[in-house]
């Protein structure tokens, strides 16, 4: 299964974290630090796989993709195929790209909930449920539409309070 999905900036800041096996916050912080340490010392143009035995247990590995200022990292165990995981990262990136029109770190930073929604349409409890980025996007859009239509009727536009932002 997939043990975790992490998006970490090249500065070492986590931008999206989802652990498919419960980790308390302190442990999460430790993992992010370890993963960032392991990835940041790797040169360009090397393979995308790193052993992760020491954080996720025996036989686990990280597969990552370095995109501009972000590392997109999946941790997985022996029940997953390495190249399939690499493809899955590609699917995730593609979906983000389609969703945000050339995704950049800012999109990831300001769309915390949307990123989770996208990820949840792709992976459930560490199991891959959809690998077609168009389908994922369609589901995400459907959800957004439904949420919008139900929220316009009931909510005071929150932008007013946003203006008072300190």
Partner 1 sequence: MASPPPLPSSTSVLSSASSLADSLFQRSLDDLIKSLRSDPSSEPSIIARSLSEIRREIRSSDPLTKSIALQKLTYLSSLHFHSMSFAAFHTLELLPSPSPQTKRLAYLAASLSFHPSTTELLPLATHQLHKDLTSLSTSSSSSFPFLPSLPLHLLSLASSADLSSHLAPDLVPLLSRSSPLQPKAVAATYRVLSLCPSTVPVLFKPLVDCLSSDNPLTVSAAVGAFCELSAPPNDPAPYLPLAPEIYRVLVNSRSNWTLIKALKIFSRLVPLEPRLGTRIVEPLSKFLRESQAKSLVLECIKTVVSCLPTHTEAMRLAIDKIKELLSSDDDPNLRYLGLQTLGMLAPGHLWALEESREVVAQSLTDPDRSICHEALRVMMAMTLQENSIESCTLLVRQAAKSDPEFANEILDSVLTSCSKDFYELVVDFDWYVSLLGEMARIVHCTKGDEISRQLVDIGLRVRDARPELVRVARELLIDPSLLGNHFLYNVLSAAAWISGEYVEFSKDPMELVEALLQPRTSLLPTSARAVYIQSVLKVLTFSCNSHIDESSSLVNDTVIARMLSLIEMTVGPLAESEEAEVEDRVRNLLGVVRLVANIKDLSVDKDKDGMIYEVVRVMDALFSDEMGPVSANAQKKVSVPEDLDLKDNLADLSEFISDNDAAMSRSNPSILFYPQSCNASEEVEVGPTSVAESTSLKEHRKRHGLYYLSTDKETTEPELTEDYPRVNETLPPSNGDTTRRVKVTKLRPTVVKLDEGEDLATSSSLSTKVEAMKDDPLSGAIKDVLLGKNGNGASSSFDASSSSQGKGKDKVKGKEIKSKKGEEGESKDRHKGRRKHKHRKEPAPPVSVAQETPVIQDFLL
Element (H, E) at 131: none
Q: Which residues contact 46 (CB under 8 A, 6 or more apart)?
A: none
Nearer to partner 1, 1 or 97 (CB): 1
Q: Minimal distance in Å, beta carbon 102 to partner 1?
A: 20
Tokens of 45: 């143009």
Alpha helix (H) residue ranges in 6-157: 25-40, 53-56, 82-100, 105-110, 112-122, 133-154
Is residue 71 within 8 Å of 10, Cβ to Cβ?
yes
Q: Strands 70-76 and 61-67: what pairing? A: antiparallel
- Out of 112, 133, 134, 141, the only residue in the binding site for partner 1 (CB under 8 A) is 112
Q: Minimal distance in Å, beta carbon 126 to partner 1?
A: 8
165 binds partner 1 (CB under 8 A): yes
- Out of 37, 134, 141, 147, the only residue in the binding site for partner 1 (CB under 8 A) is 147
Q: Which stretches of the chain bind partner 1, using CB under 8 A?
A: 1, 13-18, 20, 22, 24-26, 28-29, 42-43, 45-51, 77-79, 81-84, 86-87, 109-110, 112-113, 116-117, 120, 124-131, 139, 142-143, 146-147, 150-151, 154-156, 158, 160-162, 164-166
């Amino acid at each position: 299964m997939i043990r975790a999905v992490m998006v970490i900036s090249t500065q070492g800041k986590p931008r999206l974290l989802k652990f498919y096996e419960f980790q308390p916050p302190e442990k999460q912080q430790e993992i992010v630090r370890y993963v960032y340490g392991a990835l940041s010392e790797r040169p360009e143009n090397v393979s995308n796989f790193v052993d992760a035995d020491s954080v996720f247990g025996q036989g686990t590995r990280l597969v990552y993709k370095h995109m501009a200022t972000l590392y997109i990292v999946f941790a997985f165990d022996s029940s997953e195929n390495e190249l399939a995981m690499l493809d899955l990262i590609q699917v995730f990136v593609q979906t983000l790209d389609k969703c945000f029109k050339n995704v950049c770190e800012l999109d990831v930073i300001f769309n915390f909930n949307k990123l989770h929604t996208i990820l949840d349409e792709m992976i459930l409890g560490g199991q891959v449920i959809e690998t077609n980025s168009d389908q994922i996007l369609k589901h995400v859009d459907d959800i957004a539409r439904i949420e919008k239509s139900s929220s316009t009727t009931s909510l005071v536009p929150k932008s007013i309070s946003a203006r008072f932002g300190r």
